[in-house]
Structure 1
Amino acid sequence: MAVSCVSGAVSLPSQERRGGEPSGTAGDGAPPGRPRLTELRLSAFAGHRRTAFPLGALTLFTGPSGSGKSSALRAYEALARLGGGAGVGEVFLDPVACVPERARPDAQRRRGFRVGCTADGPEGPVRLDVAVQAEPELRIVGERLSAGGLVLLETALRDPSRPFVQAAWHTAGQSPVTRAPLPDDRLGTALLPLRVAGKTDGQRRVLAAAEQMVVALRSVFACDPRPERMRAAVPLGSGRLLGGCDNLAEVLWRTRTECGQRHAQLVAAARAGCAGVVADVVGEVLADGTVRGVLDRGDRVRTELGRLGDGELRYLALSLVLLTGPGVWEIDPVGEVPAALQTLTVLADGLDRGLDPGQRTELLQLASRMCERGHIRLVGAVSDGSGVAEAGGATVVHLEA
């Protein structure tokens, strides 16, 4: 089935989707040397079959309800968590929902799904493909890590009665391949640094490719602001923003004192997207030790965030996410890798949910600026595809139901 590439947009029907880097898109925005995902593959996942999505610094999925925007982001987040070392049971709480609806069980009554991605970086493009069995029991039954046409790691389930897969990785020493069992509930690529000695050129190549993939996958912040949780005062804590932005007021209190330049940009964003005069955005500590968020109107009047509409709260929270970063988000960064070599990615399903046209335009333009600088990457889903071209440099993926 054909794929059209027009002005940086990729139109993909619900079956047999395939996309390379769209013509007219800007670069991926990542500084040289930073591993980053450039493609997401859903070979068989939920409503997707044989699909490949290009990923840029700013990627926007558009399409009608039911076209698969949310499931694409869910697959990305799942790969990120597996890359961070999470068990398959922690990642897929409802694995049967990930199995394509028309997938038939085999003779052993097994059904599953397949996902994958490509990470670019110093080692060039590195591909990871993972097969997960959802029924009758959840386990990773196959994995392949490859680069430059060479398979660096491959696993397969040989004995269904035992809780491990047989793994083989490239050695290029006296023995071209090393074989050993790996647990069937973890991503083998994330375990390689604990298993590969790195004594031969081949082993070092395997380790470098695995590290590039893991660094590209980790440090993902899945964000879905919940206005109903953002209105009340909250206790002071770590000051790290939760995925639902429940503790927005606490983070406002922290960031206002730590980075005046970024805070000024947040105030400018609030001024553009919130009703009325906005002189400042403040986290105000109350007598009981909790902190509430307020808009300072500049005339000794302060409006509690609890009085704002859902759209205003989501807009304010998403603006804060785009303007902060790893020291503020509640994420588990790759501690052994310098921050300068990591690429931080925001996953935002329903990016424009509840926003009016003006807020939507302001938010997309802010996202475009921050992603172009290489500050962050953003993969978001928007319900309304009109006007997304206003977010300059975006990779826009149009899905069809």
Structure 2
Amino acid sequence: MTVLTPGAAEPGTRTLRPALTELRLTACASHFGVTLPVEPLTILTGRSGSGRSSALRAYRALARLAGGASLARAFPDPAGWVPEHAGPDASGRRGFRVGCTVDGPAGPVRLDLAVQVEPELRVAGERLTGADGTELFVTALRDPTRSTVQAAWYTAGAAVVTRAPFPDDRLGTAVVPLRVAGRTPGQRRVLAAAEQVVVALRSVFVCDPDPERMRATGPPPADTERDAGRLLPDCGNLAAVLRRTRTECAQRHARLVAAVRAGCRGPVVDLRTEGPPDGTERAVLDRGDGRLTPVQRLGDGELRYLALALVLLTGPGVLDVDPATEIPSAYQCLTVLADDLDRSLDDRQVRELAALAAAMCARGHVRLVGSARGAAQLRAGVPGDPLTVVDLDR
């Protein structure tokens, strides 16, 4: 694995917005002992089978666990996460391990998670470690007959640690804020570390624009439309979101129009919607000479480019994400996960999208972690700007 990065941040600097800086695939799917650096703009490259998609899925699974999801929901196909050649231990157990590092006001905090898949899906162990190596929160599967793990967290009071059972199907770090009182300096340190990890992981939007869904007419299916004004991962409700963003922020909409003009064929003077706001309206490109082009007539690459540009120019209030509402937005950073970022895009669109991503990531409120077939056109779009390329083939 080769990492091409413009350089690390200056030592001693702390960010107000917690952010994941490292993804560890210790023994997970096809990955063994892999540590991936995660910068504000990170692209994973490599041939088919190099593990680009599985790395992003691992990030997404951690995000779901941080939001309170069960193991079964975060890993719907748990057997697929077990390394193919991993044999059972003496007790007949098989599983996988994944982890991450989150930096923020509490300093770099490590989260390591071991998941047992066989004979049944459950947490086998979890560790939250502070910057100085202190084990702030640890769980272990002590009794296989009980549906709990034994948890211990740093107290630094009358007792060094406090022990209690935790659920064996949830991420313990996400449960810590509900169980730790915060009465001692040690407990408050545990709370700060756990909240930092949860805040960083929860603010994730998995973006995979589907041109067919974007071309469909009528409102999205009832079981997927949580809010017509919030963009869904497949961007099937693009028109409803455009109607909202066009009226809420003229400056940002103008920037979106400029991006679309740069990445789509023909003249573009505006991007708007037509029809009643009941889920049946359509998005159109205003060509400036009386012609209106419905976005349904655009090619797959143009549709994906438009949707990705919209995602980069919006935020948690517009995207279908579950941020930590109890934390001010100024202390949160949205991370966009985009697998096959350059799928269906031509070289010009890749360059324009990379330039837009670099500009938005530099502002600090959004990060982009994606995968692509190669990095040449991405680098052409952001010469001299911070772009971290991780080549999984090397």
* TM superposition score category, shorter chain reference: over 0.9
Aligned-pair CA distance for 1:4? 5.2
CA distance in 2, matches of 1:287, 1:327: 19
Residue in structure 1 matched with residue 275 of structure 2 by the alignment: 285
Aligned 1:21-60 pairs, distance under 5 A: 22=5, 24=7, 32-60=15-43
Whether the 8 Å contact between 2:350 and 2:378 is mirrored in structure 1 is: no
Distance in 2 (alpha carbons) for counterparts of 1:248 and 1:75: 27
Call closer, same or farther: CA 1:231–1:136 in 2, change over 3 Å: same
Q: CA deviation at 1:389?
A: 2.4
Classify 1:319/1:164 alpha carbon distance in 2 versus 1 (closer, same or farther; 3 Å). Answer: same
How many angstroms does 1:33 deviate by? Answer: 1.1
Q: Measure the CA separation in 1 of the matches of 2:71 and 2:295.
A: 38
Higher mean alpha-carbon deviation, 388-397 vs 330-339, is at: 388-397
In 1, distance between residues paired with 2:277 and 2:203?
36
Indicate which of 195, 198, 211 corresponds to 2:182.
198
State the secondary structure of the residue aligned to 1:290: coil
The answer to whether residue 154 in structure 2 is matched with residue 170 in structure 1 is: yes
Q: Deviations over 1:181-211 (max 9, x none)?
A: 1010001111111111111111111111111
Deviation at 1:23, TM superposition (A): 5.5
Match of 2:58 among 49, 53, 75: 75
Deviates more, 1:221-230 or 1:382-391: 382-391
Residue 326 of structure 1: aligned partner: 316
Structure 1 position 178, deviation (Å)? 0.6
Distance 1:182 1:275, change over 3 A: same
Identify the match of residue 250 of structure 1 among 226, 240, 257: 240
3-state SS, counterpart of residue 158 of structure 1: coil
Total equivalences in the alignment: 383
Could you tell me which residue of structure 1 aligns to residue 224 of structure 2?
none
| Residue in 2 that maps onto 1:397 | 390
Conservation of the 8 A alpha-carbon contact between 2:81 and 2:96: yes
Is the Cα contact below 8 Å between 1:70 and 1:349 reproduced in 2?
yes
How far apart are the structure 2 equivalents of 1:168 and 1:26? 33
Unaligned runs of 5+ in 1: 10-21
1:230 is matched with 214
Superposed counterparts of 1:303-382, under 5 Å: 303-382=293-372
Distance in 2 of aligned mates of 1:280 and 1:384: 32
Distance 2:205 2:77 in 1: 21
Q: Aligned AA for 1:316?
A: L
1:110-164 Cα deviation digits (max 9, x unpaired): 1111000001011111000000011221111100001011000110001111111
In structure 2, distance between residues paired with 1:220 and 1:286: 31
Q: What is the TM-score when the length of structure 2 is the normalising length?
A: 0.94
Question: Which residue of structure 2 lines up, in the alignment, with residue 63 of structure 1?
Answer: 46
Residue range with higher mean Cα deviation, 356-365 or 289-298: 289-298
What is the deviation of 1:254?
1.0
Contact 1:26–1:393 under 8 Å retained in 2 = no
2:171 is the alignment partner of 1:187? yes
Runs of 4+ aligned structure 1 residues displaced above 6 Å come to none
Q: Check 1:24–1:170 CA distance in 2 against 1; reply closer, same or farther (3 A cut).
A: closer
Offset at residue 25 of structure 1 (A): 5.6
Cα deviation 1:160-180 (Å, max 9, x = unaligned): 111110111111111101111
* Deviation of the 1:387 alpha carbon: 3.2
TM normalised by structure 1 equals: 0.92
Q: Is the 8 A contact 1:234 1:250 kept in 2?
A: no
Identity of aligned residues (%): 63
In structure 1, distance between residues paired with 2:216 and 2:164: 53
Q: Secondary structure at the match of 1:78?
A: helix
| CA distances 1:302-361 after superposition (whole Å, capped 9, x unpaired) | 111111110000000000000011110011110110000011100000111000000011
Amino acid at match of 1:297: R
SS state at 1:387 partner: helix
The one-letter amino acid paired with 1:63 is G
